[in-house]
Structure 1
């Protein structure tokens, strides 16, 4: 198909647009932004993912405030081309056939990146096997392992069947780690020409081909499968002794498998790199801090503003360092435009009236319990007292994984608060969070709130999107914010300095009290009484955060540090 050497970028989920619902949250949207920047910068990259024909899920909220999940109905043929080539993998000792859909990401710079969406919904397969690529992160551990066989092993086979010459295989998280087994088979040496049987499996060659990015600092976040399950579903692709040496003695740890067969390994923020070294001692783990695709995550009014005062910003986001050149009144007018857009959007989809004159706080992300979406409600009496100092409203959005009961409970709790304190502080929850809603929120609120348990946030990217729109971050010092934060200059911290490099017990009330104090004594007074100072911090968000925390800078580092080594 193409003789140029490519970087093969494997990700279980990719978020490119609202219309292609093959993402669940930050990991997928980061992958989409990575691909867009690669197209802009003309990096020879090809991406591989799963089609997820029934999406992650469509979220509804029932009358009790509980999240309810429904399949997403979408038609890949409207957006991409089905390729004629098929490959097969062995699952439970039977052939499972895989087809691919090709989607082209094209940049105005002339660059383009193909994305291959793998699909087992083909007539040669059993009904059960046709469903393997139906739901993103759906089903049980058996379903997940089948998906990872299709992604890793099937993905490598599809690339080779289509004639691609691959220079590096980049695993975005451990879901694609089984690709190393396929590479071991491809580079297995001729037994007759090898005196020492240890060298039959050419791990060094495979290692040279692989790059691994880990995204979670939590042990439970790494996929693990029992060897009984691996034997039943995958079979003996390589000898069990070798697999245990590479992937763990007691169970197959997908992260360990990738760590042992990748020449370049990185975490996604400086702090995350440190935490990962503690979690996986003995491995050289680098850090390349995440970014966002600047053009995608800048709202229309700010695009026009940047075009006027910082021409060329979209493909050279580092130029945003010149944000100081934007007149205060024009910056504020662009922000009010975005805020009114959010007000109209909320009215249209939820029938709720937000007040554009009131300080608006946004919180939107996956509702995993460690993200503590409900921290602001820790002391309701104290929160209401803050509300007496100056009015503010909070807009929430986000999905909990269908099996994450604690996450669902937090959504229910917040929806209950929307009813109990509505006459004093307006709190709203927008259901079915997606990329369109995300852009409305990160550009239309005044303050972006983030309250994870430290140091569980590997990076986070929503605050970077907010900064691209002059929205100010108010966050726990974790992930990327440790690097982006200058107190009172680029935004505000919540809680103590991030000194730990492993998981510790954090006092929720200490963090909550700091949140209340800064909201009451710094943020609210500045917003209502010192607009020029507020606008100064908005400019710093753009000029000191957005200029750096973007995927153009990130991808240049991957090229120089990981891809051309």
Structure 2
């Protein structure tokens, strides 16, 4: 407990997230939500914000992706051991789940910033001898199992997390919910602040909703109503030992189903989306609530390739602590930007050769696209018309590198991975396409730094924010993206990158694909091959304009000023 003592007196804000990308060896994340949480923690350490982070230990990770020769995704456990990376804390708390008490033990990981700042990360673990064998696995599988398993995990995170922080000695003013997975913590806060039952009227206990709203900040990420966690009340009443009677719970979380997003919105005094466009979309989904917008950012020190980091340090001292200074990258010689990019590209090409046996051409532009393999991301949009794509490559040669995982229960996502492998075989000899298996934090770092063009093709308005393109821009990689999420705010056509199509939501996929082909054939690829000086100028502009604004330091300063200090 000595490692924790130095945090207890100053910490006033708790940040809860089901997943968190702390470091690559800790398999406690699945994708963008967890990476955002990790970048948040890294910036809080550097800014020395008084925060503690809470997540699950997720011993078996999300999953390790293996791809068969015919493109089938196979999932394997991605085990890691908290010992050596985390310190077990001498504390324990319990939650009632169904008919049993479930005990939770915390692990501590202290995340350190480059200038001495640090924040504690608490990882919740139920793999204890005191628990029933089934309950010991509740913190093993990130997003695994059925609805019952998922609800049990969210009870551990929300109710258990708040109780454990109190048992450890934290005295907190603010609770930040990163997505609805942690919404059950609001019920624990209600229970803690409930007044006694009125003996004369028999009414009560009295819950102070206003007090809880004053304590809670909720960031929602899912832009479609169907994407929010819902559970039938039969399951909730069977598993959740709620301090709030079922009738009142329906009033807070929805009459037809237990909606964690609605519960979080109802009991949070500050609610925000993760981009301006996303806040507008969320406002339509949940009328009656005030939805603010704090656009996501990325941690510049984590996502900038070492050669670029050295370059920035030479020309823009203090760029990591104050990324807004990166606007001065406009003064860096373009040849230096290009030299660093070529080194980062060589690193990626070497990794591709090691993983796939394919040697790509360093002289040809490399289109990178990596995303969660699911329908609204449209991973196959680039390959709508293979003959057109091959004809473009015949005039302006290019190559493609792809990566991404499909959720084990997402049949369409798995089918997309199979089709991508079929496409790569069909294009062999005309366009080199490779798929890198087991997309993770380390592979993402290589891809966003080593690609020449970063492609993003979501179906608007379903991209909440997206951050991979921000990471790419830090390394001088140019974005070619549909106008959705953060790119609506960042795109200055021909200055920071390019838009695919118009800013509208009703264009069929085939039309958007034609826009993409037109932009590649007539603008992007001719510029790369025909005007290298102009291309390098755009690289410098993207790094300066995007890196100086779309960073997690700016994001957390806004949270501190607008959400935490209300």
User: Into which bin does the TM-score normalised by the smaller protein fall?
Assistant: over 0.9
| Pairing 1:83–2:83 present | no
Q: Structure 1 194/359 Cα, relative in aligned 2: closer, same or farther at 3 Å? A: farther
| Pairing 1:43–2:49 present | yes
Query: Whole-Å Cα distance in 1 between the matches of residues 304 and 512 of structure 2?
Result: 30
Partner of residue 408, structure 1: 414
Partner of residue 27, structure 2: 21
Query: Whole-Å Cα distance in 2 between the matches of residues 540 and 244 of structure 1?
Result: 51
CA contact (8 A) 1:93 1:235 kept: no
Partner of residue 463, structure 1: 469
| Pairing 1:347–2:353 present | yes
Query: Whole-Å Cα distance in 2 between the matches of residues 128 and 46 of structure 1?
Result: 29
| Pairing 1:511–2:512 present | yes
| Pairing 1:490–2:491 present | no
Deviation at 1:198, TM superposition (A): 6.7
TM alignment of 1:527-546, pairs within 5 A: 527-546=528-547
**Paired residue secondary structure (2:210):** helix
CA contact (8 A) 1:389 1:524 kept: no
CA contact (8 A) 1:453 1:506 kept: no
TM alignment of 1:274-293, pairs within 5 A: 274-293=280-299
- Which of 112, 115, 119 pairs up with 1:113? 119
Deviation at 1:562, TM superposition (A): 0.4
Deviation at 1:93, TM superposition (A): 2.2
Partner of residue 58, structure 1: 64
Partner of residue 555, structure 2: 554
TM alignment of 1:393-472, pairs within 5 A: 393-472=399-478
Partner of residue 141, structure 1: 147
In structure 1, runs of 5+ residues without a counterpart are none
Query: Whole-Å Cα distance in 1 between the matches of residues 99 and 484 of structure 2?
Result: 45
Size of the aligned set, in residue pairs, is 560
Partner of residue 37, structure 2: 31
- Which of 293, 315, 318 pairs up with 2:321? 315
Q: Structure 1 150/194 Cα, relative in aligned 2: closer, same or farther at 3 Å? A: farther
Deviation at 1:110, TM superposition (A): 1.8
Deviation at 1:127, TM superposition (A): 0.7
**Paired residue secondary structure (1:467):** helix
| Pairing 1:153–2:154 present | no
| Pairing 1:358–2:354 present | no
**Paired residue secondary structure (1:47):** strand
Query: Whole-Å Cα distance in 2 between the matches of residues 82 and 63 of structure 1?
Result: 42
TM alignment of 1:160-309, pairs within 5 A: 160-192=166-198, 197=203, 200-309=206-315
| Pairing 1:67–2:82 present | no
Query: Structure 1 length as normaliser, TM-score?
Result: 0.98
Q: Deviations over 1:436-486 (max 9, x none)?
A: 100100000100000000000000000000000000000000000000001
Partner of residue 343, structure 2: 337
Query: Whole-Å Cα distance in 2 between the matches of residues 532 and 30 of structure 1?
Result: 34
Q: Structure 1 422/248 Cα, relative in aligned 2: closer, same or farther at 3 Å? A: same
* Mean Cα deviation higher: 30-39 or 360-369: 360-369
**Paired residue secondary structure (1:77):** coil
Q: Deviations over 1:254-304 (max 9, x none)?
A: 000000000000000000000000000000000000000000000011011
CA contact (8 A) 1:454 1:506 kept: no
Report runs of 4+ in structure 1 exceeding 3 Å deviation: 192-199
Q: Deviations over 1:500-555 (max 9, x none)?
A: 5xxxx540011100100110111111001101111111111111111100000000
TM alignment of 1:5-20, pairs within 5 A: 5-20=11-26
Deviation at 1:235, TM superposition (A): 3.5
Q: Deviations over 1:121-141 (max 9, x none)?
A: 000001100000100000000
Deviation at 1:213, TM superposition (A): 0.3
